[in-house]
Amino acid sequence: MRSRVAIVTGAARGIGAATAQRLAADGFAVAVLDLTEDDVRDTVAAIESAGGRALAVGADVGDSEQVQLAVDRIAAELGPPVVLVNNAGVTRDNLLFKMTDADWDLVMHVHLRGSFLMSRAAQQHMTEAGWGRIVNLSSTSALGNRGQANYAAAKAGLQGFTKTLAMELGRFGVTVNAVAPGFVVTDMTRATAQRLGQEWEPYVAARAAAIPVARAGQPEDIAHTVSFLVSEGAGFVSGQVLYVAGGPRT
């Protein structure tokens, strides 16, 4: 994998940072992308201190011009990207009658439009190489979750997007899959607890108690799964949604 280049979006912290570090450990040169280059300095430093290659990239994944410039820069400085992990995401949770247009639009902008723009820009390099991997981050919320009409719709949309790209790109040697995490300890889930007015540690304990494997997920759990899906050994796995939730639906 040493000569191959991966892009991980939303890689400043949490699942994105863990995934970027795991792919670097696997031998990929990793473009670590978030809204600004400063946001990803810590992730890049962690990769480089472990002996890996990384590039800090700032871009709004929902902005077509910024995305194309970012992918062009990555190709020029690291090499043509053949792995893309669409992890960038935001939440703007609220019940339907309280949800604003801006709440809806921002979540669609980042999750759906962002994954579309990043995939469209990166796929050219993959098809030209005759090998590629796209992994989209969905969620168990795609199955429905109170107060997350926007987020659930976006994550369900990513599953349809994944299956369609798998059909279109498979003949070029490109696989496309989705990972749907359950409850994972991140800044995003901490914000959810705060929104619900719950203390963090009791909230985690209560969520873990409802999970069959009896623990909360960690970002590294998702990173390990992505590592498999982008590997050579996963070349016959495409168009799948893999729930990584400690049980069937948690």
The predicted structure's pLDDT at residue 196 = 87
Q: Alpha-carbon distance 85 to 142, whole Å?
A: 18
pLDDT digits (tens, 9 = 90+) for 164-193: 999 999 999 999 999 999 999 999 999 889
Q: Alpha-carbon distance 244 to 96, whole Å?
A: 27
User: How many other CB atoms are there within 10 angstroms of residue 97's CB atom?
Assistant: 5
Q: Alpha-carbon distance 46 to 54, whole Å?
A: 9
What would the mean pLDDT of 223-244 be, rounded to a whole number?
98
pLDDT digits (tens, 9 = 90+) for 213-230: 999 999 999 999 999 999
Whether the per-residue pLDDT at 148 is higher than 60: the answer is yes
Q: Alpha-carbon distance 138 to 156, whole Å?
A: 7
Q: Alpha-carbon distance 47 to 112, whole Å?
A: 28
Catalytic residue list contains 151? yes
Which residues in the chain are classed under CATH 3.40.50.720? 5-181+218-241
The predicted structure's pLDDT at residue 249 = 75
C-alpha distances in angstroms, 16 versus 23, 32, 57, 104, 144? 11, 9, 13, 23, 23
Given the residues 151, 161, 203, 243, the one annotated as active site: 151
Options 3.30.1490.20, 3.40.50.720, 1.10.580.10, 3.40.50.880; CATH of 5-181+218-241 = 3.40.50.720
pLDDT digits (tens, 9 = 90+) for 20-64: 999 999 999 999 999 999 999 999 999 999 999 999 999 999 999
Report DSSP state, residue 35. Answer: S
Q: Alpha-carbon distance 124 to 82, whole Å?
A: 9
pTM above 0.75, yes or no: yes
